[in-house]
Amino acid sequence: MSQIENGFDAYLRRWSLIPDGAPILTHSSRLLPVRRGGEALMLKLSHAEEERFGGLLLEWWGGEGAVRVVDHHDDALLMERATGPISLADMARRGEDDAASRILCAVAARLHAPRATLPPALIPLETWFRSLFAAAPGQGGLLAEAAATARSLLAEPREVGVLHGDLHHENVLDAGSRGFLAIDPKRLRGERGFDFANIFCNPDAAVALAPGRLARQASLIAAEAGLERRRLLQWILAYSGLSAAWHDEDGSDPKLALAVVERARAELRN
């Protein structure tokens, strides 16, 4: 597929970019690795509102804990490209799960640091849970328990601020001398603890569902992030229920997410 067919050509000319790899297609964006003056960058064209607002949040972070925005125009975003060799997912798979989680917590701390202003058009965290709240009455069981837990947490939020919204092993990349940096934020506002819940559904089923993994990582992440362990477990239960509801909506398999719900519930009852 040519650059023109992918819609990149106008921006290659606009920003004097040279393609540096094959296009990457996702459900909401098209990306192209590029270079300018020797600098490794990523050109991203989004056709989803969520992705466009995510670019505004990256810009607001100013390269602190997240990739730096170099330029933007309409639906196009030109940003720093993390090219370091370390993969947090691979670390977790080869027995370095604790180290990967510590890196995720360190990145989260940078993203959550107080700032003088707020970015535009943040989504309240309770709005994010509407799929779970819609699905729970008909499904009952685990989803109903997850929904009830989410409602309880959302009713009395703690440490409210700007959230990444999708923090996990594949969304935090090695940027070499710049350290590890986040990509693909979802522009949420809510309780800080929510941002750590998706770590427990990742990087894959083999890691996430390994015996004792959830309990061990809950203790580690609570300590690293300064969170109450029980409340973190509640966020894990609520988030994994939401993830299962999303899987049901798009016709994919909710098995992993539901298994995490079960493990979080069991740990809360210990």
How much is the pLDDT for 118?
Answer: 86
- 88 with 206: CB under 8 angstroms? no
- 23 with 1: CB under 8 angstroms? yes
Beta bridge partners of 160: 191
Question: The dihedral of CA 13, 15, 18, 24: what is its sign?
Answer: negative
How much is the pLDDT for 6?
Answer: 56
How much is the pLDDT for 187?
Answer: 87
Q: pTM value?
A: 0.93
Beta bridge partners of 31: 24, 44
How much is the pLDDT for 5?
Answer: 44
How much is the pLDDT for 2?
Answer: 43
- Give me the helices (H) in 3-87, please: 9-14, 49-61
Residue 268 half-sphere exposure toward CB, CA atoms < 13 A: 19
Written as tens digits, the pLDDT of the chain (270 aa) is 343 445 899 999 999 999 999 999 887 789 999 999 989 999 999 877 776 778 889 999 999 999 999 999 888 999 999 999 999 999 999 999 999 999 999 999 999 999 988 887 899 999 999 999 999 998 879 999 999 999 999 999 999 999 999 999 999 999 999 999 999 999 899 999 999 999 999 999 999 999 999 999 999 999 999 999 999 999 999 999 999 999 999 999 999 999 999 999 999 998
Q: In 3D, which of 159, 79, 160, 162 has the Cα closest to residue 119?
A: 162
How much is the pLDDT for 7?
Answer: 81
Supply 109's token pair: 């701390």
Burial 131-143 (b: 16+ CB within 10 A, else e): bbbebbeebeebb
How much is the pLDDT for 4?
Answer: 41
Residues in the chain: 270
Local structure of residue 149 (DSSP, 8 states): H
Rounded distance between C-alpha atoms, residue 183 and residue 55, angstroms: 9
- Long-range Cβ contact pairs of 137-145 (< 8 A, separation 24 or more): 139/248, 142/241, 142/244, 142/258, 142/261, 142/262, 142/265, 143/241, 143/244, 143/245, 143/261, 145/237, 145/241, 145/261, 145/265
166 tagged catalytic: yes
State the amino acid at position 185 in one-letter form.
P
Rounded distance between C-alpha atoms, residue 192 and residue 220, angstroms: 16
Q: In 3D, which of 160, 185, 163, 181 has the Cα closest to residue 172?
A: 181
What domains appear along the chain, each with residue ranges and CATH number? 9-80 (3.30.200), 95-269 (3.90.1200.10)
From the candidates 20, 71, 98, 166, give the one annotated as an active-site residue.
166
How much is the pLDDT for 54?
Answer: 84
